[in-house]
Chain A
Amino acid sequence: MTRRMAIAVLSLAGAFLAIYLTLYKLGYLQTLACGTGSCEVVQASRWSKLFGLPVAMWGVGFYLAMFVLAAAGSFGRLADSPALARALAALSGFGVAFSGWLTYIEVARLHAICRYCVTSAGIVLVLFILSALDARGHASEPE
């Protein structure tokens, strides 16, 4: 399995996690299955929304974009595309910065940690590492 395939698989897993958190935020789930941590504190905070939409919903969009790019870049003509590799690296780099900021809010402002959010931040970090390696691999090849 190539790095891009791994990115696609991981992005799909992240999308389901973000969908779960979005369903909670939209009120379709009464409680988060959260044995430890303070998911409800985090999900009820004012930082759980961005531009009127739940942050988790933006997360769904992010993961689906990563999935589509990585899956499309796993086969055919796009498999050799350095531009696509750079796009994946840039998108996941933005994801790392954003989830880093959210983790800072959890620790420094809310003093509450949501394990789903931490898991998502971990997935984003791995996606960035894989994307950066993929971009580096394609940078050394002639276009």
Chain B
Amino acid sequence: MAKSKAGKKQSGKNAVRGTPNRQFVAAIVVVALLGVGGLGYALSHRGPSVIVVDPNIPAGAPQGHLMGKADAPVQVIEFGDFECPACGNFATITEPDVRTRLINTGIVAFHYYDFPLSQHRNSFTAHLAAACAADQGKFWEMHDRLYAGQDEWSDLIDPGMTDPMSVFRRYAKELGLDVKTWENCVTSQKYTAQIKGNQAEGMRRNVQQTPTIIIGDQQVNGVSYDQFKQLVDEALAKSGKAKADSGRKSAGGKKGAAQ
């Protein structure tokens, strides 16, 4: 009996050692076919590709995104690129203080102009994502999310990141945007003309790099809060002096007229 059991076991092993088991081969073939078929399907049913800027859309009128009181005494303009690391540093390190101490206090009106650089592959899509968030009143929320999350979608940091839209879609969801409307806006390139217009405005002002920040009549690149504040103070002093001068002139004129 024991001998017969041992014999059976041995014959089972011999069967394994022999030609490949049919069931096994069939299972491998089925899994391979399903796998290759599934991957083929997924690759052939990809979503819209990374946005290619439509060359036929002409540049529109420049139109920045405003933060703060439009009639604040100091007007500040930033030409920024969402994929530029220096802009990311400015947005996440310097800008929070600028907002709290200078914009929220009514001293500065801050205008953001798009200046996506062509060497940054995912940047234009990011600018469209922000412009389309502005459509739903959330430009600055998307602006902050894009800069804070650069390492998640930037082609510079992750060369394999060829689909920033999957990340931007998540941001849109997190910010509570109507994602479908937002995505239609992005993929239809609704704001391409405006972004090109802002770029053209930057070129007109001889912007050479990003971020370029114009405070009053001073044009600078990435600055610390202290430098920013100093330039704002200078601009305030100049505008105060200009106001005083114009006040004196007008008072003198009135005096003269009265005499």
Contacts and interface: CB of A to CB of B under 8 A. Distances in A.
Q: Binding site of A, secondary structure by majority: helix, strand, loop or mixed?
A: helix
A23 B18 CA distance: 38
Contacts of A20: 38-39, 42
A23 B166 CA distance: 13
Contacts of A46: 151
Contact of B24 (A9, A13, A79): A9
Interface string A15-46: 11001100101111111110000001101101
Interface stretch (B44-52, B108-116, B205-213, B218-226): B44-52
Contacts of A29: 42-43, 46, 163
Interface of B: 13, 16-18, 20-21, 23-24, 27-28, 31-32, 34-36, 38-39, 42-43, 46-49, 151-153, 160-163, 165-167, 169-170
25 contacts: A1-B24, A1-B27, A2-B21, A5-B21, A8-B24, A9-B31, A12-B32, A12-B35, A16-B38, A19-B39, A23-B39, A27-B162, A27-B163, A28-B162, A29-B42, A30-B166, A31-B47, A31-B169, A33-B42, A40-B170, A44-B152, A44-B166, A74-B24, A79-B17, A80-B13
* 6 A-B pairs with the lowest CB-CB distances in the bound complex, closest first: A27-B162, A16-B35, A30-B47, A5-B24, A9-B27, A27-B163
